[in-house]
Amino acid sequence: MENGIMEFSLKPGIHVRSNSYEAFISHMEQCNDLWAIKDHESRFVYVNKSFLYYNNLPKKFNIEGRLDSECPAPWSEIADIIQTNDSTVMQRQKSVDVLTNFIHGRKEKIIQPFLANIVPLMQNGKSIGIIGRAKKLDLYSMYDFEQEQYSPMGDFYNPDRLFNDREFDVVFLVLQSLSMTEIANKLDISSDSVDLYMQNIYHKTGVYDVPNLVEFCIKNGYHKFAPYRFDNPKPYIPLG
């Protein structure tokens, strides 16, 4: 790596490199996903607008230089867990997936689950911080459950035995718009295994491509369910 150049992995095989934070930030500002950059002390360097929105942080709140414990957000109460995970990512120089809930909304509080990927920010072979990217999970929010604004089919389990549990893991991640490579990484299995599961899923559903599988799942209500592993009563769960 060139002297002073920073780098992180956006996804397997895709690395983002720059000699300044500005290049990273220009990309993150245009993204609907939640993005955050922290330094080696786990202090915030930057968060994008989506991060501020889903954490109910004021638009003009200056988060730069603050620790998690210093932010007016519910996750400040579990700052020790978050910072331990940040340290693990930096020390091991390996990414960690995290299940997390963010509370947003002014009058009506909504709990929205996210699947985050925390990766080390590298410079000259050393970890100098972390970069986090969180994607919204397309599940009913806890507010919907509390208000009973859902059908009887709404829960965290495999709804029937059409799919075995591993196949349902794959179906769920397909419904989150993840690629086959991303699914393999999330489930810590090979791409060949994902292909095999997909062939079994196609055979069972009578469809033969992802768009038709998504249509099948929505028509039959599978999009209202999540695998057991996503039953998340805690606000922040590292999966690595």
Give the residue carrying structure tokens 């009563």.
233
- Domain boundary at 138, 173, 189, which? 138
How sure is the predictor about 136, in pLDDT bands with cuts at 50, 70 and 90? confident
55 and 116 within one domain: yes
φ, ψ for residue 2, nearest 5 deg = -65, 150
Across residues 132-141, what is the average pLDDT?
71
Pair (100, 169) in one structural domain: no
Which pTM value belongs to this model?
A: 0.60
CATH number of the domain residue 204 falls in: 1.10.10.10
Confidence of residue 14 (pLDDT cuts 50, 70, 90): low
Q: Is residue 197 part of a domain?
A: yes
**Same structural domain for residues 57 and 11?**
yes
Report the pLDDT value the prediction gives residue 237, as an integer from 0 to 100.
65
Give the domain extent around 190: 158-224
Confidence tier at 234 by pLDDT (50, 70, 90): low
Poorest-confidence range of 70-79, 172-181, 223-232?
A: 223-232
Q: Does residue 156 register a pLDDT over 60?
A: no
Q: What's the rounded mean pLDDT across residues 214-222?
A: 88
Over 70: is that where the pLDDT of 68 sits? yes
Q: What tokens appear for 82 in the block?
A: 């978050």
| 151 — pLDDT class (breaks 50, 70, 90) | very low
66 vs 187: which has the higher pLDDT: 66
30 and 134 together in one domain:
yes
The CATH code of the domain that includes 133 is 3.30.450.20
Using N-to-C axis directions, what is the helix angle for 165-175 and 191-205, rounded to 10°?
Answer: 90
Mean pLDDT of the chain: 79
| Per-residue confidence (pLDDT) for residue 1, from 0 to 100 | 34
What number is the average pLDDT over the span 108-113?
68
Number of domains in the chain: 2
Q: Mean per-residue pLDDT for 111-137? A: 87
Residue 41 pLDDT exceeds 70: yes
Average pLDDT over residues 109-133: 85
Helix (H), strand (E), coil (C) string for the chain: CCCCCEEEEEECCEEEEECCHHHHHHHHHCCCCEEEEEECCCCEEEECHHHHHHCCCCCCCCCCCCCHHHCCCHHHHHHHHHHHHHHHHHHHCCCEEEEEEEEECCCCCEEEEEEEEEEEEEECCEEEEEEEEEEECCCCCHHHHHCCCCCCCCECCCCCCCCCHHHHHHHHHHHCCCCHHHHHHHHCCCHHHHHHHHHHHHHHHCCCCHHHHHHHHHHCCHHHECCHHHCCCCCEEECC
Q: What average pLDDT does this structure show over 127-141?
A: 78
Distances (CA, A) of 78 to 1, 69, 196, 240: 35, 8, 39, 18
For residues 113 and 99, give the distance between their C-alpha atoms in angstroms, rounded to a whole number.
7
Q: Report, as an integer, the average pLDDT of 11-29.
A: 68
Q: Shortest CA distance to 46 belongs to which of 132, 136, 134, 126?
A: 132
